[in-house]
Amino acid sequence: MNVQQLYTNCLSEAAYFIDSDGEAAVIDPLRDVDTYIKMAEEKGVQIKYIFETHFHADFVSGHLELSRKTGAPIIYGPNTNTNFKVQVANDGDEFAIGKVKLKVLHTPGHTLESTSYLLHDESGKPYCVFTGDTLFVGDVGRPDLFSGNLSKEELAGMMYDSLQTKIKTLADDIIVYPAHGPGSSCGKNLGPQTFSTIGEQKASNYALQNMSKEEFVKVVTEGLSTPPAYFPINAKINREGYESLDDVMTKGLEPLSVDQFKLRVKEGAWILDTRPATVFTEGFVPEAISIGLDGRFAEWAGSLLPFTQKLVLVTEPGKEKESVVRLARVGIDNVEGVLDGGIEAWVAAGEKLDMIIDIEPDELAMDIPHDTKLEIIDVRKPGEFNTAHVKGAVNVPVDTLIDPVTIAQINEDNNLYIQCAGGYRSVIAASLLKRQGYHNLRNVLGGFAKIKGVKNIPIVTPQEQKV
């Protein structure tokens, strides 16, 4: 028996490959399924089942792609309704994979159909449990993500019962394999590890401590941030189906000459530049939106780009396929081609470049006392901003900059200094503002991480705000 976790950092997502005695199963696959097919070929095993823990909201699952290419059935837990053929398992059902068995544990709470899978080894001993978004390391799945007309309190009550009757009753040495790790928006505050044990979680996870259902509901539902805007779209895609990734790739990877590229833009396509933020600021196609592959690319693309909007891409050489695949992972399938030759081809054709001025925090410190029109735009999340920020800074989270009302409140006559935590989101924000005609922009390199180390920049903390 072999169990392999396949972790994708930019989505904080974990898929799993189980094989035993010539047979295999995949749990919660990503949409680009060639990795699993290649693993099966290299191991000389046949993919027998595809298991889904629930309808994922933060990425498009590879269940349909993998089933089309392998013939393996898609297994969901109870209370599942889809627009395509699946096998809906009952609580307690067992599935043989070679010499091991996977047992269905219906664990509603994150969603109605949420299901965990308990793996028994060749001797029949429970070895690990794949908990999906029911139990994370240090956290549990948020109960406010699109399960019909149920309130988050009702779902949290279901989760309490699931944890008490299905998870906490498992032996302490059983390994916990969740669907997500740190950085995921599917929970409130996931721990730094991507796996644990039942015993470790009983000892350290706040949600597994002894408390009443009422206390649990309160602690799990309080402090929930607004989920990313694309979550309900991805959940719907996973429930209703999607276009073949092969077709998406064929269309998206069409090489476009400069003239063809300009024509697509004239016809309404948006320009997405996936090069690193530090390279983008030095020169880019006017009106391009920067979302660099070097950050949480798919998550920000899903949060900022309309799903019906046609796109054309500017990428680094050799990054064309990666850009299209990672967009498709969150259901953005409307890429109509890539600028052939990249930014160098654009320059060689005599086309103009736009740019964003980068400054070090030291320069910001020198400008603050003298520039009467200086305005610091902090594009971090409200929770980050409230922890500590530059005195006088205005909090405008980057995902609100797609709202014309929000943008209209920013004074275009001011000298805008854009900063985030480390320098990635500030470039996204600056590109969005540039696209709307704001040109008095400065991108603060290194973000708040570097700013707070400069003596002459006043920092406000929560304690100081109360004074």
Least confident of 193-197, 317-321, 453-457: 453-457
- Answer whether 0.75 is exceeded by the pTM: yes
The pLDDT value given to residue 147: 66
The pLDDT value given to residue 467: 41
Angstrom distance (rounded) from CA 13 to CA 176 = 14
The pLDDT value given to residue 150: 86
Q: Given a cut of 80, is residue 28 above it in pLDDT?
A: yes
pLDDT tens-digit readout, 255-305: 999 999 999 999 999 999 999 999 999 999 999 999 999 989 999 999 999
Q: Given a cut of 50, is residue 139 above it in pLDDT?
A: yes
466 falls in which pLDDT band (50, 70, 90)? very low
- Which residues on neighbouring strands pair with residue 178, listed in sequence order? 132
Q: Given a cut of 90, is residue 231 above it in pLDDT?
A: yes
Closest to 322 measured CA to CA, from 252, 243, 427, 230: 252
Which amino acid is it at 401? L
Give the percent of the chain with pLDDT over 70: 98
Task: Spell out where 260-340 has E strands.
Answer: 270-273, 289-290, 311-314, 335-339
Q: Average the pLDDT over 208-229 and give the result.
A: 92
The pLDDT value given to residue 146: 66
User: Hey, what are 230's tokens?
Assistant: 């694309």
168 falls in which pLDDT band (50, 70, 90)? very high
Q: Given a cut of 90, is residue 225 above it in pLDDT?
A: no
pLDDT tens-digit readout, 369-385: 988 999 999 999 998 99
How far apart, in Å, do the first and last CA atoms of the chain sit? 61
Mean pLDDT score across all residues of the chain: 95
465 falls in which pLDDT band (50, 70, 90)? low
Q: Average the pLDDT over 7-25 and give the result.
A: 96
Angstrom distance (rounded) from CA 189 to CA 207 = 12
Q: Which residues, at least 6 apart from 370, have a Cβ–Cβ distance to it below 8 Å?
A: none
Q: Which residues, at least 6 apart from 421, have a Cβ–Cβ distance to it below 8 Å?
A: 380, 384, 447, 448, 449
Parallel, antiparallel or unpaired: strands 46-51 and 23-27? parallel
Spatial contact of 163 and 136, defined as CB atoms under 8 Å apart: no
Give the percent of the chain with pLDDT over 90: 90
Q: Given a cut of 80, is residue 464 above it in pLDDT?
A: no
Q: Give all domains of the chain, ordered by start, each with its CATH number.
A: 2-233 (3.60.15.10), 243-348 (3.40.250.10), 357-466 (3.40.250.10)
Spatial contact of 176 and 105, defined as CB atoms under 8 Å apart: no
User: Hey, what are 380's tokens?
Assistant: 């971090």
- Which residues on neighbouring strands pair with residue 255, listed in sequence order? 338
Q: Average the pLDDT over 149-155 and give the result.
A: 90
Query: Looking at residue 208, what DSSP letter applies?
Result: G
pLDDT tens-digit readout, 171-209: 999 999 999 999 888 887 788 899 999 999 999 999 999
User: Hey, what are 41's tokens?
Assistant: 């070929």
Q: Given a cut of 80, is residue 463 above it in pLDDT?
A: no
pLDDT tens-digit readout, 49-85: 999 999 999 999 999 999 999 999 999 999 999 999 9
